[in-house]
């Protein structure tokens, strides 16, 4: 099994080299310290699995993952990083990564991750999997609650929970201000809300915003229906 690694820290690449040398299953076929180096390396070596850091100079590992998946769809990419931020996990998986490992988990965990990715499984480091399940459950809950809304109404709802005013939403979506007002009134009616403050509060309860802020009323306040 051919493995390559993309990381700008030499000591980490040395550690990966030593870890792979301890197993007869894997052959290290290339190393790169940046995304651009990685593109050339993948073109030249076509690794089966590519270990990819996120914090790369110039172009981050998520963007690089998307490009490598386009160039070499047969190469499975395992993100390996020191940071387990859930947004990084979601972005990496959306970009086509086959898994998300943590540098802090050590050599045995890396070999386990490689074995699972090799078998075609999705690997998530312990703890990351629990957090991802929680996020996916929240997404399903949001989808259920907002299922009564049209696609355009959901777009406007997601902007309104950020406390954007109707005119700002209109500018963002390139639609008329009156059209936004009409949609907001329909959203209020469908979700049994009285005003934007309740809309924002609902968004916070659904986990769509970090903190609840009281929206500043516009000259033409949102009318409930």
Domain ranges for the chain, please list them: 2-128, 149-225
Using CA atoms, how far apart are residues 24 and 145, in angstroms rounded to an integer?
Answer: 51
Q: pLDDT value at position 222?
A: 47
The domain 2-128 belongs to what CATH superfamily? Response regulator (3.40.50.2300)
Q: pLDDT value at position 111?
A: 95
Using CA atoms, how far apart are residues 189 and 182, in angstroms rounded to an integer?
Answer: 11
Using CA atoms, how far apart are residues 111 and 16, in angstroms rounded to an integer?
Answer: 10
**Contact at 8 Å (CB) between 182 and 171?**
no
Counting as low any pLDDT under 50, the low residues of the chain are 211-214, 219-225
The angle at the Cα of 143, spanning 138 to 148, to the nearest 5 degrees, equals 145
**Contact at 8 Å (CB) between 42 and 14?**
no
Integer angstrom CA distances of residue 60 from 20, 42, 81, 85: 24, 16, 12, 15
Global pTM value: 0.63
Using CA atoms, how far apart are residues 75 and 39, in angstroms rounded to an integer?
Answer: 12
**Contact at 8 Å (CB) between 56 and 80?**
no
| Nearest Cα to Cα of residue 101 among 80, 117, 118 | 80
Q: pLDDT value at position 78?
A: 97
Q: pLDDT value at position 37?
A: 96
Domains 2-128 and 149-225 share a fold: no
Which architecture characterizes domain 149-225 according to CATH?
A: Orthogonal Bundle (1.10)
- DSSP per residue, 202-218: HHHHTTSSSS--PPPP-
């Amino acid at each position: 099994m051919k493995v390559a690694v993309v990381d700008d820290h030499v000591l980490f690449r040395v550690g990966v080299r030593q870890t792979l040398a301890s197993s007869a299953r894997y052959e290290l076929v290339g190393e790169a310290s940046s995304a651009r180096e990685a593109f050339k390396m993948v073109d030249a070596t076509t690794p089966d699995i590519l270990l990819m850091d996120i914090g790369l100079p110039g172009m981050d590992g998520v963007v690089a993952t998307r490009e490598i998946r386009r160039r070499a769809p047969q190469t499975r990419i395992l993100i390996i990083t020191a940071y387990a931020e859930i947004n990084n996990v979601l972005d990496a998986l959306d970009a086509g990564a086959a898994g998300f490992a943590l540098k802090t988990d050590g050599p045995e965990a890396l070999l386990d991750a490689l074995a699972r990715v090799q078998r075609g499984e999705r690997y998530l480091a312990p703890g990351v999997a629990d957090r991802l399940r929680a996020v996916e459950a929240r997404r399903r809950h949001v989808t259920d609650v907002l299922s009564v809304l049209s696609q355009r109404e959901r777009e406007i709802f997601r902007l309104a929970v950020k406390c954007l005013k109707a005119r700002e939403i209109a500018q963002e979506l390139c639609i008329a201000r009156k059209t936004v007002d009409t949609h907001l009134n329909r959203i209020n009616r469908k979700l049994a809300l009285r005003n934007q403050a309740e809309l924002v509060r609902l968004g916070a309860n659904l986990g769509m915003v970090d903190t609840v802020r009281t929206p500043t009323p516009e000259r033409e306040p949102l009318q409930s229906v």
